[in-house]
């Protein structure tokens, strides 16, 4: 089944600016050679397409250059540490230190560093830019959770965490970047997502269900779904989504949505398994304007 209704932008696409909306980690890009006649899949094939989380296209900064990588929740790279399922905690965040660790996991997952036009960039510059991205998202996430962000009725960050242990010895960088302390115990955030009770998300398709809005809004969206690349194919993505559905039902949510790119084939199975179905698709012009592959809007009925 073809999963690329139009060309995936090149990793060398010129970067214009970071999205002015701090909610989104996605920069805005303009394709250097946009396809004026993108192919569209048939309506029947569209209804079979399910894909997860962030776009697999790359977003590039100028100097230093960072490539926004896909949330490869169903792929494995390199040596995978042993995972004791009994030691995994999947829950809403508890402390700001845990929230900071979750944000750093997102920056680590969604951005990769490349040299810019052959110019060597110092490790200090790379570190400082990653810190800037993390601090920006951290403050925006805190504002959403605390209710300071207009348009969001309720937001929670749901994380998968593991205790620091010898089994994670092969993931030193992950442990260093995404660790936090709880009751004297060191833990690591290895997966994360946001649950957002709101009418819509910026620059994304809006769900149609339910039709009632205002104080009776029972619609929510998942966003920023990611799992550490060292621990993929262990069921963490599925467990995070399952937990988010449980929390959403506790909030009184009846309709849960997620926006997905068309080219994440592995994640199709994850969302299909989690009960999501196709509802709508992003217009080709909007995808070209935002410099990304088209997105599909998936819906799950939480009243079942």
List active site positions.
271
d(CA 104, CA 138): 9
With left for phi above 0 and alpha for psi between -120 and 50, is residue 136 left, alpha or beta? alpha
Closest by alpha carbon to 103, among 143, 139, 57, 61?
139
d(CA 190, CA 177): 11
How many residues are there in the chain? 304
Closest CA to 71 of 131, 30, 112, 29: 112
For the chain, what is the total number of helices (H) and then of strands (E)?
A: 7, 12
């Amino acid at each position: 089944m073809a999963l690329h209704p139009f060309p995936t932008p090149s990793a060398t696409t010129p970067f214009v600016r970071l999205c002015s909306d701090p909610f989104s980690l996605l920069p805005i890009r303009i394709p250097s050679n946009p396809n004026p006649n993108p192919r569209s899949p048939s309506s029947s094939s569209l209804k079979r397409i399910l894909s997860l989380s962030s776009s697999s296209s790359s977003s590039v900064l100028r100097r230093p250059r960072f490539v926004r990588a896909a949330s490869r929740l169903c792929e494995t790279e390199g040596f995978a540490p042993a995972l004791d399922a009994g030691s995994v905690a999947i829950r809403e965040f508890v402390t700001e230190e845990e929230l900071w660790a979750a944000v750093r996991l997102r920056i680590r997952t969604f951005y990769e560093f490349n040299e810019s036009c052959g110019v060597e960039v110092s490790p200090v510059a790379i570190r400082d830019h990653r810190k800037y991205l993390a601090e920006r998202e951290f403050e925006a996430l805190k504002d959403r959770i605390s209710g300071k962000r207009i348009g969001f009725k309720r937001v929670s960050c749901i994380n998968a965490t593991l205790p620091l242990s010898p089994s994670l010895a092969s993931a030193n960088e992950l442990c260093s970047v995404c660790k936090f302390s709880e009751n004297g115990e060191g833990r690591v955030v290895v997966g994360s997502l946001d649950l957002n009770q709101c009418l819509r998300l910026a620059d994304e398709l809006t769900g149609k269900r339910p039709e009632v809005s205002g104080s009776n809004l029972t619609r929510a969206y998942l966003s920023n779904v990611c799992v550490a690349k060292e621990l993929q194919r262990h069921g963490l993505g599925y467990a995070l989504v399952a937990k988010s559905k449980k929390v959403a039902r506790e909030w009184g949510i009846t309709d849960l949505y997620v926006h997905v790119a068309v080219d994440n084939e592995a994640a199709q199975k994850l969302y299909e398994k989690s009960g999501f179905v196709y509802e709508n698709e992003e217009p080709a012009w909007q995808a070209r304007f935002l410099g990304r592959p088209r997105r599909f809007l998936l819906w799950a009925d939480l009243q079942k």
